Amino acid sequence: MLNRRQFVRAAAATSALTPVLSTDASAQAYPDHEIHSIGMFPAGSGADVMVRYFSNKLAEMTGKTVVVENKAGAFGNIATSYVARSKPDGYTLYIAPGSSVLAAAPSLFKSLNYDPINDFEHITTLVKVTFIQIVAGNSPYKTAADLSKFLKEKGDTASYGSVANTGLVASELYKQSAGLKTVEVKYKEVQAMLVDLLAGAIAFCHIDVASVLGQLQDGAVRAVSTSSTQRIRALPDVPSALEAGIPNLDLVAWWSVHVPKGTPKAITDQLEVWFNKIASDEVVGKWVVNIGFDPYPGNSKLVRELLEKDTKAWADYVKLANIPPIG
């Protein structure tokens, strides 16, 4: 029989072990109920399709319901803050364009109520998005060199369009490389920018392929270069920035998966395996390419490295493009 002192010691040891055993057990049973996937975009928007597609694939993989919750607004900060404050149990996921949301946030906002790198467990990458430089389909500019020649002649009387910071930065890097004085015109939505492009009010813009795939296919717009040093699978005939004579431009956005800091490693490891199986799937790859992206399976180490690298890069981009921080 245990004396009182031995009993207290045994009870304390059991108590100390209980949380560990409980955590391990919950990780082994994961998931045992529905998962919530947080989206930073309005429901039904083009980017929201990406969140829902990969959320549905996770549901197929796990056999559990994955509910997409749209928390749009504040350039992604509402959704990002929500995930950072959520319970770290693996039942709240964040599928988002990590490069332009998490990595860019410290440079785009005067203050944040979360740490983009240290307030999350970073699971893996999913796809990468290369922007393209487009002109009107009926314009005489067949190449980026043709466009540059025209813009040099026009000086600051010519303009280009921007609707997202990634496109703005790509255009400013192009201007820097070609020695141009072309003036930026800001737009709130893609459609308005395309209307002006087709009307000749602006000379060019940089935009993601998914937003203009239909216009590319019917010839309304023409792509003259990508925003990176490589061609993209969706448009194999479009020259890379390097091939087009824009050597300083290598801007690639990427989507990734994140969960709140403190989520058990057994769960984050499992999520990494599942999402990389999804991102590597042949059917998924075809779907991704068809909407203008490239598959980009990775791992937690890669995401963190990309975040740290791109966070530093965005500080330079913001200065280059003269983007005022949001208060």
Please tell me whether residues 119 and 138 are part of one structural domain.
no
Please tell me whether residues 151 and 215 are part of one structural domain.
yes
| 246 belongs to a structural domain | no
Domain boundary among 191, 226, 261: 226
Please tell me whether residues 141 and 32 are part of one structural domain.
no
pTM: 0.82
With a cut of 70, say whether residue 118 has pLDDT above it. Answer: yes
| 232 belongs to a structural domain | no
Helix (H) or strand (E) holding 276: helix 265-280
Q: What percent of the chain has pLDDT over 90?
A: 79
| 242 belongs to a structural domain | no
With a cut of 90, say whether residue 20 has pLDDT above it. Answer: no
pLDDT in tens, 220-268: 999 999 999 999 998 999 999 999 999 999 999 999 999 999 999 999 9
| 197 belongs to a structural domain | yes
Please tell me whether residues 105 and 196 are part of one structural domain.
no
CA nearest to 38, candidates 283, 257, 254: 257
Is the dihedral angle over the CA atoms 36, 53, 261, 102 positive or is it negative?
Answer: negative
Q: Which of 9-18, 92-101, 178-187 has the lowest mean pLDDT?
A: 9-18
- pLDDT at residue number 27: 66
With a cut of 70, say whether residue 129 has pLDDT above it. Answer: yes
pLDDT band at 9, cuts 50/70/90?
very low
Instruction: Give me the number of domains the chain comprises.
Output: 2
Please compute, for residue 218, the number of CA atoms within 13 A of its CA located in the half-sphere on the CB side: 4
With a cut of 70, say whether residue 1 has pLDDT above it. Answer: no
Please tell me whether residues 81 and 51 are part of one structural domain.
yes
Helix (H) or strand (E) holding 314: helix 300-321
Please tell me whether residues 16 and 104 are part of one structural domain.
yes
Q: What's the domain range around 142? A: 130-226
Average pLDDT, the chain: 91
Q: E strands within the chain?
A: 35-39, 66-70, 92-96, 120-136, 159-162, 183-186, 204-208, 221-226, 252-260, 294-295
With a cut of 50, say whether residue 311 has pLDDT above it. Answer: yes
| 1 belongs to a structural domain | no
Q: What percent of the chain has pLDDT over 70?
A: 91
CATH number at residue 190: 3.40.190.10
* Residue 248 CB coordination number (10 Å): 12
Find which of 5-9, 96-100, 156-160 is predicted with most confidence, using mean pLDDT: 156-160
Helix axes 4-29, 265-280, angle to 10 degrees: 10
* The token pair that represents 33 in the structure block: 């109920």
- 200, with CB counted inside 10 A (0-12, 13-18, 19+), is exposed
Distance CA 132, CA 223 (A): 6
Please tell me whether residues 64 and 198 are part of one structural domain.
no
With a cut of 70, say whether residue 21 has pLDDT above it. Answer: no
